[in-house]
Structure 1
């Protein structure tokens, strides 16, 4: 004789099945939905296929052999390329560094910003100088540095400096991305460790290298979480395509699972995001620390360069590490 299940158990099973069906329908509806914007559609089309890129490099390293993790690329007025990145060294700490290149493949390290620096972001200041932001230990926080010109940046001679207080989390705030520099005002985005538990998005303004204001960006969080991301929401990078601003952003499908990192294209106008289905030569499936830059490629053509970190846990053979690739526009 088969034992009868308790009524509460039956209700629980029915509720779980109903929830699963609702999530499946939502997923199907989302997959069939129109792109968030023309800009996100174009970005996902360009950035989604590494195999069709005009140039690429897996596992990027500088000339000393350091890995170029979380690399972000800028271009100087004379056409050279700049990369800011970090590496975990033998002292057990991350070091942010700056390297230069003439071809986007060979990189010469020019400066090390010291132990406890990581997740760097670089921007022109519009006056011949540069602004650099990075995470800094101890008490993981955002540090901002201003450099008078390229020579000062290459030497690491900061003209102004600011270390931001922790205002949204008592545990950590970081992964800065500089969105604009207007005179003495720097606009940034970043993450904060919500409840000292999970990374969520912030936007901040630094005025005169003295006054700091940060606030949560819950709209961006909601757009990424709509894709079922149950872990951290971290690094992001804005880019303008066809006069539309789009934000590349990472989201972690499952907490503590580095193989579940995915990349999304967010439209600030609609508040929606599209998933970036990246196809590599070997079939890697996890991608983190996204950034995108409009530049002139080594052949002198306008191009979109995309930088993604491929975690070992989600990598195909020979593809783990920093991936750089570019498509002619």
Structure 2
């Protein structure tokens, strides 16, 4: 028995080395192969900010308010819309809507009040708009409906719903309106799991009366597989190469704002690709992502991307809201 021990130990060691090599090889292949044609297309268009057809760092509205976590859309008449939030002197976040004709200069049109933030805007398919945002105190998701552009820009909602917290007793928020199908609104968001760490949810609101939310563990798994041990937060859908893709944020380490990164997630396959945006100064941290297809100021189809660059990982002059677009 003692004579066979060294041989057995060598055999076990060889098996472990081979297994480790196969594991590393498998991971390398998995990381190298895009999750889908849609995530590959998103990476090709969104990763190089220096090659963008237009861009603006530290985006602000005409009064100087920062346009943090901006999410953009385009009205039927071609006007560009942005919903965003700003931390004001009252110590509260204020969500607002602004308009632009060139994607670079923005005029604030309405402030939705203190305690509103992380706003998301979507067309309702009938000439109106659905707006969702996180609202405090008792952080929860609020949804508002507007009959048309004029009503939105004046803050005159004709339907309103404040969702109950059903997944966390502490916080649910960062909503994104992903679809409006008649009287049913589909959303995604986060919930504070165990009142400790933000995790992903999906929800439906029917008739502005019935709310149902559930964890999106598949998306959680895709992001934690990349080593994200902190919060999993904001996200936005876009369709590229015939595939629906989510642009989503993940935090490597809790309380470390410099560890925020962005990912392209394929809902059909359940996998995510990590994106590595290249800015002019070499910023490293990116959060609150959104993407949308629109017609750019030159009248050409384009993908617009919006990212918040935390100062902890931003190059000089690049912190704050970044807006940029690439023509298709």
TM-score class normalised by the smaller sequence: over 0.9
Give the TM-score normalised by structure 2.
Answer: 0.92
Q: Which residue of 2 aligns with 1:153?
A: 152
The Cα shift of 1:45 comes to: 1.1
For 1:166, the equivalent position in structure 2 comes to 165
Deviation at 1:29, TM superposition (A): 4.4
Mapped to 1, the partners of 2:40 and 2:156 lie a distance apart of 41
Partner of 1:261: 260
In 1, Cα distance between the equivalents of 2:306 and 2:297?
16
Residue 27 (structure 1) shift: 5.2
2:85 paired residue number:
86
2:301 maps to 1:302: yes
CA–CA distance in 2 between the matches of 1:192 and 1:198?
A: 8
Equivalence for 2:175: 176
Which portions of structure 1, spanning 4 or more consecutive aligned residues, are displaced by more than 2 angstroms? 21-32
Q: Which residue number corresponds to residue 35 of structure 1?
A: 34
- Contact persistence 2:202–2:216 (CA under 8 A): yes
**1:31 Cα deviation from its structure 2 partner:** 3.0
Q: Tell me if structure 1 keeps the 8 A contact 2:83–2:96.
A: yes
Q: For 1:46-103, what per-residue CA distance to the aligned partner results, in whole angstroms no more than 9, with x for missing partners?
A: 1000000000000000000000000000001111100000000000000000000000
Instruction: Please name the residue that 2:210 is paired with.
Output: 211
CA–CA distance in structure 2, aligned partners of residues 310 and 220 of structure 1:
23
1:179-328 → structure 2 map (5 Å cutoff): 179-328=178-327
- Following superposition, the deviation at residue 217 of structure 1 comes to 0.3
Aligned to 1:69: 68
State the alpha-carbon separation in 2 of the partners of residues 303 and 148 from structure 1: 27
Measured after TM superposition, the shift of residue 211 of structure 1 is 0.3
Deviation at 1:294, TM superposition (A): 0.1
Q: How high is the TM-score relative to the length of structure 1?
A: 0.92
Q: CA deviation at 1:107?
A: 0.1
Distance 2:153 2:28 in 1: 50
Tell me, what secondary structure is at the counterpart of 2:50?
Answer: coil
Counterpart in the other structure of 1:112: 111
1:242: Cα distance to partner? 2.2
Distance 1:316 1:168 in 2: 37
Give the superposition deviation at 1:30: 3.8
Gaps of 5+ in 2: 1-16
- Mind listing any 5+ residue stretches in structure 1 that lack a counterpart? 1-17
2:142: which partner in 1?
143
Number of the residue aligned with 2:12: none
Deviations 1:118-157 (Å, cap 9, x if unpaired)?
Answer: 0000000011100000000110000000001110000000
CA displacement, residues 152-185 of structure 1 (integer Å, 9 cap, x when unaligned): 0000000000000000000000000000011111
Counterpart CA distance in 2 for 1:202 and 1:187 is 11
Q: How many residues align?
A: 311
How far is the alpha carbon of 1:24 from its aligned partner? 6.2
* 8 Å contact from structure 2 (residues 250, 261) kept in 1: yes
SS in 2 for 1:51: helix
**SS of the counterpart of 2:40?**
helix
Query: Contact 2:31–2:273 at 8 Å: present in 1 too?
Result: no
Quote the offset at 1:243 in angstroms. Answer: 1.9
How many Å separate the matches in 1 of 2:107 and 2:264?
31
Conserved? CA contact 2:140–2:172, under 8 Å: yes
